[in-house]
């Protein structure tokens, strides 16, 4: 027997005994329906994730010469976390610059040769074959210049890549390197976590799938700080039901209210629908009879059995969709002992 049932029995029993003693009348207490905001909700548990947790891999090989960021450090986008020895890439850059300078000088001379050849060709002093050969040499030199320019830009990029930078504002979760380590392209050296932009994945039973839609309000709390409540909305709903547990997953994004941490548990309440001025009565006033759920409405010194259509239940109250109005005085304690047109004595 639940504590609620025990409380109900303890309230009803005195009235029942009094009713037996009086024989002709049943002693009851009464109340009126009221307006309350009542919501159709579902409570679930979920885990908090970071919206972005990038793993940083290096794109160049070399020895780590400096560690700047360590575990727990907060970094901004573009901050340098560590440095790799850039000496060999600086040499490649210098070689590429020297090659461009050499080709640039050759290109100037080749352009002059081309102009002379064109003038001599117009004066019929050189053959067309000679003219074509000079033009081909000039074009080939231009292509060499383009290749050298690409090498120069690549060398500059490699120098930049020796600085391991944070792509987003985040915190360092894991550091895989120390000064003196030799790294290769593709090696993961840092793992970052965005602690500001978070998300929760909530899994709903499949029977609730018709009620789920984007934009539904969600209230979230976390044990890391129970006093903070985040109000957000469902951003996405995964298009398939998990075959293992027959659940449908929704994704809720929110901004960290202050001290929440990725990986922590959360309790979420999803609001399917809201009734701001719902008519509600105490749960004890609604009695199940053979015709369905009824409420006993006071008519003078009798109680009229009135069928009602109920809706949501919340904290000891039931929503009434049809059957009574706010002006109806209804039986509260003692309703379970009544039948239609029972004679009652009201004691409030």
d(CA 108, CA 281): 96
CATH of domain 57-191: 2.40.50.100
Q: What is the pLDDT of residue 110?
A: 77
Measuring CA to CA, how many Å separate 69 from each of 53, 85, 113, 166, 227?
16, 17, 57, 10, 33
Q: Identify the DSSP state of 71.
A: T
Joined tokens for residue 170: 């985040």
CATH second-level architecture of 43-52+194-275? Beta Barrel (2.40)
User: In which element (H, E) is residue 191 found?
Assistant: strand 188-193
Report pLDDT for 305. Answer: 94
Residue 150 confidence class, pLDDT cut points 50, 70, 90? very high
- Kindly write down the DSSP assignment for every residue of 265-286, as one continuous string: EEEEEEEEEEEEEEEEEEGGG-
pLDDT (mean) for 241-255: 91
242 pLDDT higher than 90: no
Query: Which three-class secondary structure state does DSSP give residue 41?
Result: strand
Q: pLDDT at position 189, please?
A: 96
C-alpha 55: how far from chain center: 20
62-79 tens-digit pLDDT: 999 999 999 999 999 999
List, in sequence order, the alpha helices (H) in 23-127: 87-122
Asked if 302 and 344 touch (Cβ cutoff 8 Å), the reply is: yes
Percent of the chain surpassing pLDDT 70 = 89
Chosen CATH of 3-37+277-346 out of 3.40.50.1010, 3.30.70.3170, 2.40.420.20, 3.30.67.10: 2.40.420.20
Query: Where exactly are the structural domains of the chain?
Result: 3-37+277-346, 43-52+194-275, 57-191
* Cα 256–chain centre separation: 11
Cβ burial, residue 250 (10 Å; 0-12/13-18/19+): buried
> How does pLDDT run across 195-240, given as a tens digit for each residue?
999 999 999 999 988 889 999 999 999 988 888 999 999 999 999 9
- Rounded to the nearest integer, the mean pLDDT of the chain is 87
pLDDT score of 123: 65
């Amino acid at each position: 027997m639940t504590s609620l049932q025990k409380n109900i029995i303890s309230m009803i029993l005195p009235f029942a005994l009094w009713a037996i003693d009086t024989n002709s009348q049943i002693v009851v207490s009464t109340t009126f329906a009221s307006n309350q905001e009542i919501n159709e909700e579902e409570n679930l548990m979920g885990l908090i994730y970071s919206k972005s947790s990038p793993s940083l891999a290096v794109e160049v090989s070399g020895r780590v010469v400096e560690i700047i960021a360590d575990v727990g450090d907060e970094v901004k986008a573009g901050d340098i976390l560590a440095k790799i020895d850039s000496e060999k890439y600086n040499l490649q850059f210098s070689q590429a610059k020297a090659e461009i300078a050499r080709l640039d000088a050759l290109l100037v001379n080749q352009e002059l040769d081309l102009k002379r050849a064109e003038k001599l060709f117009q004066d019929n002093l050189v053959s067309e074959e000679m003219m074509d050969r000079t033009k081909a040499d000039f074009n080939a030199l231009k292509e060499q210049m383009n290749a050298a320019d690409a090498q120069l830009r690549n060398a500059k990029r490699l120098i930049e890549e020796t600085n391991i930078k944070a792509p987003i504002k985040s915190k360092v979760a894991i550091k895989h390197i120390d000064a003196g380590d030799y790294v290769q392209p593709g090696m993961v050296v840092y793992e970052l976590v965005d602690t500001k932009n978070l998300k929760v994945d909530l899994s709903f039973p499949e029977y609730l799938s018709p009620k789920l839609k984007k934009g539904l309000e969600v209230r979230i709390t976390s044990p890391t700080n129970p006093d903070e409540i985040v109000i957000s909305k469902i951003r996405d709903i995964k298009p398939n039901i998990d075959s293992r547990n027959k659940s449908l997953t929704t994704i809720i994004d929110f901004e960290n209210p202050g001290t929440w941490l990725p990986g922590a548990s959360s309790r979420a309440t999803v609001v399917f629908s809201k009734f701001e001025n719902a008519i509600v009565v105490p749960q004890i006033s609604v009695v199940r009879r053979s015709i369905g759920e009824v409420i006993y409405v006071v008519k003078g010194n009798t109680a009229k059995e009135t069928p009602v259509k109920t809706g949501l239940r919340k904290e000891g109250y039931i929503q009434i969709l049809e059957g009574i109005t706010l002006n109806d005085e209804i039986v509260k304690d003692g309703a379970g002992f009544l039948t239609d047109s029972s004679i009652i004595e009201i004691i409030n």
